[in-house]
Structure 1
Amino acid sequence: MKKLSRKEEELMQVMWYLKKAFVKDAIDQLPDPKPHYNTIATLMKRLEEKGFLAHREYGGTFEYYPIVEKEKYKDTFMKKVVSTFFDNSYFNMLAYFAKEEKLNQEEIEELMKIIEKNKKK
């Protein structure tokens, strides 16, 4: 799966939320200041070339829709993060968040419940 730029990821978040959209619909969902129409149209074409979006044509106007599921992208993205920053260790990643106090005690206990539940499977 090809890597997305920050702007492409932001637009994909909108597309996953909307499920299908014309350029104008996507622009309406983006934060202010709103990007120019041509900028978003170009990004959508680029996302289509990368295999993330497809379109239906209605009289010269394109309605885009995602063809890569958010979960699939998230899985690929997280594997890359774990590989690049945590030596391919999910333990190292969770330990990092615990050490940096990004997880509170309640969240750690919830993680432990999930781990215990999955051990029983």
Structure 2
Amino acid sequence: MEELTKAQEEILLVLWDIQEGAVADVVEKLPEPKPAYTTVATVIKVLEKKGYVGHKKFGNIHVYYPVVTKKAYAKHVLKDAYKGLFNNSLNQLVSFFVKEKDVPVSELEELKKLIDQEIKKQKS
């Protein structure tokens, strides 16, 4: 998977949200100040070239849809961060997010529960 710019990622987030749409639909969902229609069209074409987006043609209208799932993209991004920024250390990655963000106790308890379940599963 190729790396995405912030603009490309923002447009892909909209496509994941709406599932499919024409350029005008994407522009409508973007926050203010909205980029120009032609800018969004160009970014979508780049996303298509990179393999993140596909399209269907209905007359003169192209309807775009994500080809890569949000989960697959998140996995790719986190894997790169995990390797590069955290020296392949899951402990460093999790510690960073837990210590650098004000993580509510409820979320920490949820994480602990998930970890305990995974430990139990792997020991079985």
Distance 2:41 2:100 in 1: 40
User: How many residues in Structure 1 have an aligned counterpart in Structure 2?
Assistant: 121
2:44 aligned partner, one-letter code? M
- Larger mean CA deviation between 104-113 and 46-55 belongs to 104-113
- 2:56 is aligned to 56
2:33 aligned partner, one-letter code? P
Distance 2:62 2:98 in 1: 46
- 2:114 is aligned to 114
Distance 1:18 1:9 in 2: 14
1:79-121 deviations in Å (ceiling 9; x for gaps) = 0111121111111111122333532333222211111111121
Distance 1:42 1:98 in 2: 38
- 2:94 is aligned to 94
Structure 1 stretches of 4+ moved >6 Å: none
Summarize the alignment of residues 18-37 of structure 1 with structure 2, pairs less than 5 Å apart: 18-37=18-37
- Larger mean CA deviation between 95-104 and 111-120 belongs to 95-104
Sequence identity, in percent?
Answer: 37
- 2:39 is aligned to 39
TM-score when normalising by structure 2: 0.91
Q: CA deviation at 1:34?
A: 1.1
**Unaligned 5+ runs, structure 2:** none
The root-mean-square deviation of aligned C-alpha atoms, in Å, is 1.2
- Larger mean CA deviation between 11-20 and 58-67 belongs to 58-67
SS at match of 2:34: coil
- Is the alpha carbon distance of 1:101 and 1:72 closer, same or farther for their aligned partners in structure 2, counting shifts above 3 Å? closer
- 2:12 is aligned to 12
1:8 aligned partner, one-letter code? Q
**Unaligned 5+ runs, structure 1:** none
Distance 2:103 2:22 in 1: 39
TM-score when normalising by structure 1: 0.93
